[in-house]
Amino acid sequence: MTPEYTSTELLAHVAAGLLEDNSSVFVGTGLPVIAAMLAQRTSAPNLLLIFEAGGIGPQVPVLPISVGDSRTFYRAVSASSMHDVMSASQAGYLDYGFLGAAQIDAYGNLNTTVIGEWERPKVRFPGSGGANDVGSLCWRTIIVMRQDPVRFVETLDFLTTPGYLDGPGARERVGLPAGTGPYRVITQLGLYGFHERLKRMQLLAVHPGVSVEDVVEATGFELIIPDEVATTIPPPRAVLDTMRDIDPTGMVIGR
């Protein structure tokens, strides 16, 4: 039977469930905005949304098209600046950061710069933007991306944003704040975390209809697989209705 939700709606629902009430989140364009808005309207009403262009604490009425859209300042606590937002991140005030990526490795390092050699790339992406700041300074980074062996890779073509670099203690050795780093990865196949001691990616849950074998086949590095793997819970009808109010045209979640 065809599910009543799209894969993007499932991702947004799972992502929203990770955001705790009375916390702050640095929100990126697209799916992270939907997830943050959804959390604020359901399980985390006191979630503080922070946008790169300077909107701090808004009650966003409908999905903005970018982090600089005027709707990201609607009923905001502050209409500030990129400088102030990045300063807040550096000062340790941002609990969560949302990122996407073209490539990720086992330690949560991200590439959003090039595919192929730097001098003659096959594909060139926009680069870091604020992603390096988010991945370096937010306490917990959540990554949302598609999963396949060319995106989940053993070695990145370019390191744009640091995860756990080459393993335990590496972030601290290069001067990044202790206790920060990748927290969760969400893909169309499942939910992932990072082993507390090894700092390598581990499977936490698969989505309905997805097997552990599907996950392994779509991963280009050795993934830690626990003895017990949970299954994520699909979004209930009330949550779907809320998401579709947030994105009425289906610009991100689709139909």
Contact in structure between 3 and 240 (CB atoms under 8 Å): no
What are φ and ψ of residue 90, in 5° steps? Answer: -65, -30
Answer yes or no: is pLDDT of 253 > 50. Answer: yes
Q: What is the pLDDT of residue 108?
A: 98
Catalytic residue check, 9: no
Contact in structure between 48 and 24 (CB atoms under 8 Å): yes
Contact in structure between 110 and 135 (CB atoms under 8 Å): yes
Q: Taking residues 33-43, what's their average pLDDT?
A: 94
Q: What is the mean pLDDT of the chain?
A: 93
**What's the domain range around 51?**
7-188+233-246
The reply to whether 17 falls in a domain is: yes
Q: Closest by alpha carbon to 40, among 65, 58, 54, 14?
A: 58
The reply to whether 19 falls in a domain is: yes
For 48-72, write each residue's pLDDT tens digit. 999 989 999 999 999 998 888 999 9
Give me the CATH number covering residue 71: 3.40.1080.10
Q: Taking residues 247-251, what's their average pLDDT?
A: 87
Contact in structure between 46 and 16 (CB atoms under 8 Å): no
The reply to whether 226 falls in a domain is: no
Catalytically annotated residue among 4, 9, 20, 52: 52
Answer yes or no: is pLDDT of 126 > 50. Answer: yes
The reply to whether 240 falls in a domain is: yes
The reply to whether 200 falls in a domain is: no
Q: What is the pLDDT of residue 104?
A: 98
Q: Taking residues 25-37, what's their average pLDDT?
A: 89
Answer yes or no: is pLDDT of 1 > 80. Answer: no
pTM (2 decimals)?
0.93
Which band of pLDDT confidence, cut at 50, 70 and 90, is reported for residue 255? low
Between the two ends of the chain, the Cα-to-Cα distance in Å is 16
Q: What is the pLDDT of residue 3?
A: 60
Residue percentage of the chain with pLDDT more than 90: 81
Amino acid at 145: M
Q: Taking residues 38-42, what's their average pLDDT?
A: 96
Other CB atoms within 10 A of residue 240 CB: 19
For 160-183, write each residue's pLDDT tens digit. 999 999 999 999 999 999 999 999
Number of separate domains in the chain: 1
Which band of pLDDT confidence, cut at 50, 70 and 90, is reported for residue 47? very high
Separation between Cα atoms, residue 25 and residue 136, nearest integer Å: 14
The reply to whether 196 falls in a domain is: no
Answer yes or no: is pLDDT of 242 > 50. Answer: yes
Q: Encode the chain in three state secondary structure.
A: CCCCCCHHHHHHHHHHHCCCCCCEEEECCCHHHHHHHHHHHCCCCCCEEEECCCEECCCCCCCCCCCCCHHHHCCCCEECCHHHHHHHHHCCCCCEEEECCCEECCCCCEECCEEECCCCEEEECCCCCCHHHHHHHCCEEEEECCCCCCCECCCCCCCCECCCCCCCCHHHHCCCCCCCCEEEEECCCEEEEECCCCCCEEEEEECCCCCHHHHHHCCCCCCECCCCCEECCCCCHHHHHHHHHHCCCCCCCCC
Q: Closest by alpha carbon to 185, among 131, 143, 152?
A: 143
